[in-house]
Amino acid sequence: MRYRCPVTSDREEHKCDRCDRCLSVMDLKDKVAVVTGAAQGLGRSFVEILLKNGSKVALIDVNKSLGDELKSTLDQEYGRDRTEFFTADVTSEEDLKGALEKIVKTFGRIDILCNNAGIINEKHWEKTIAVNLGGVVRGTYLALEHMKKENGGNGGVIINISSMAGLGPLPVAPIYTATKHGVVGFSRAMAAVSKLADYGVRINILCPWFVKTSLLSSLNSEDYIERFLPLKAMSETMIQKHGCLEADVVAKAFLVLVKDESKNGDALMIDPEGAVFISFPQKAKDLPSTPVNLE
Ligand SMILES: NC(=O)C1=CN([C@@H]2O[C@H](COP(=O)(O)OP(=O)(O)OC[C@H]3O[C@@H](n4cnc5c(N)ncnc54)[C@H](O)[C@@H]3O)[C@@H](O)[C@H]2O)C=CC1
Ligand SMILES: CCCCCC(=O)/C=C/[C@H]1C=CC(=O)[C@@H]1CCCCCCC(=O)O
């Protein structure tokens, strides 16, 4: 079917502010993407939408059995050369550094990184900080070494998965809330660094509402929310009132952040009513517009 602009209905060259022709849209064909926490849930949905858009995808997860199982499933649907699975713990510098080096050796480059691995554990809260915030920081820093133009990289985009708990309090999980707020702040700051240092890498944030995955069951278990268990009814009420998202719907919002090359330092919130870009308080002061050499 011939292309028709959704805004102007034009079929020829034109100017508008929404369609793929006019928006600077990243072509995902033959790009190399990396997804952490890829073996199930949202990570699996991000892997699948990237494959459907023509990318090659490196899957990283600490769960070897689930990762091997998914790799085998994807081989049958997309062919063996479109994906690779690497067992790695995002809290380990050695693991994640090694995995990214193997990925560059295998696929030759990294164009897209999704720091998705995350847990809810208010009992062992130091682990939650290590995975949800430490893992995002580590993945961002390690991938930038391969992606930034000053290192001979091709640039690209990093999508860090926060949560709506990165924008407001989730009382049943205060440490989870803190880590997700940290992901928002860190990612927006690194997006500014990338712009100032001319890395050529966009860094964006995805903030989903409750999604039907295995993580959600953590909110009902004393093993994971411990002293906040009496508050679990709050989350149940929110889910009953507003509903729960499907992972493949969240993946469509993820794709917007990947493809729209005008987005850097932007946070996209998605809940059952839809997706909206978050407007943050105006910057306290204007950032310098000229690139700064950080070496
Ligand atoms: N499910 C939900 O309601 C929401 C989830 N999120 C976020 O989305 C991301 C994905 O969550 P879900 O898919 O729901 O969870 P999930 O539990 O279904 O999948 C998470 C994956 O991450 C992996 N993982 C955990 N720790 C790891 C580590 N140290 N190293 C490597 N891999 C590790 C797990 O093995 C698992 O395969 C998380 O960052 C979560 O905080 C955000 C908002 C809502
Ligand atoms: C298991 C992960 C839970 C994901 C859903 C979630 O984090 C929900 C959080 C909400 C619960 C109470 C809140 O206050 C949280 C959301 C606050 C959203 C704030 C929206 C900000 C804005 O509209 O600009």
pLDDT for the residue 127: 98
133 closest CA partner among 192, 43, 125? 125
For the stretch 68-81, pLDDT in tens is: 999 999 999 999 99
Segment (H or E) for 181: helix 174-196
- Number of CB atoms found within 10 A of residue 228's CB: 21
Residue type, 272: P
Read off the pLDDT of each residue in 178-197 and give the average, rounded to a whole number: 98
277 closest CA partner among 261, 259, 257, 258? 257
Read off the pLDDT of each residue in 92-99 and give the average, rounded to a whole number: 98
206, 254 Cβ separation under 8 angstroms? yes
pLDDT for the residue 13: 61
Residues at CB less than 6 angstroms from ligand 2? 120, 163-165, 167-170, 209-210, 215-216, 219, 238, 278
pLDDT for the residue 295: 79
pLDDT for the residue 287: 61
pLDDT for the residue 41: 98
Is the Cβ atom of 41 under 6 angstroms away from ligand 1?
Answer: yes
The pair of three-digit structure tokens given for residue 212, joined into one six-digit string: 């039907």
pLDDT for the residue 288: 62
Give the pLDDT band (50/70/90) at residue 25.
confident
- Number of CB atoms found within 10 A of residue 262's CB: 10
pLDDT for the residue 284: 54
* Distance, CA of 15 to chain centre: 30
The C-alpha atoms of residue 234 and residue 174 are separated, in whole angstroms, by 13
Report, as residue numbers or ranges, the catalytic residues: 176
Counting ligands in written order, the one closest to the CA of 206 is 1
Give the pLDDT band (50/70/90) at residue 125.
very high
pLDDT for the residue 11: 67
- Distances from the Cα of 32 to the Cαs of 17, 109, 202, 232, 278, in angstroms? 28, 6, 15, 40, 28
Nearest CA residue ID for atom 18, ligand 1: 41
pLDDT for the residue 185: 98
The C-alpha atoms of residue 276 and residue 293 are separated, in whole angstroms, by 34
Give the pLDDT band (50/70/90) at residue 30.
very high
Helices assigned H by DSSP within 4-132: 41-52, 64-78, 93-107, 125-129
pLDDT for the residue 282: 76
For the stretch 207-255, pLDDT in tens is: 999 999 999 988 888 899 889 999 999 999 999 999 999 999 999 999 9
* Mutational test site, ligand 2, from 42, 131, 163, 164, max ligand atoms within 8 Å of CB: 164
DSSP 117: -
Give the ligand 1 atom nearest the CA of 244. 3
pLDDT for the residue 256: 95
Provide, rounded to the nearest whole percent, the portion of the chain with pLDDT above 90. 83
The C-alpha atoms of residue 163 and residue 146 are separated, in whole angstroms, by 27
For the stretch 220-232, pLDDT in tens is: 888 998 899 999 9
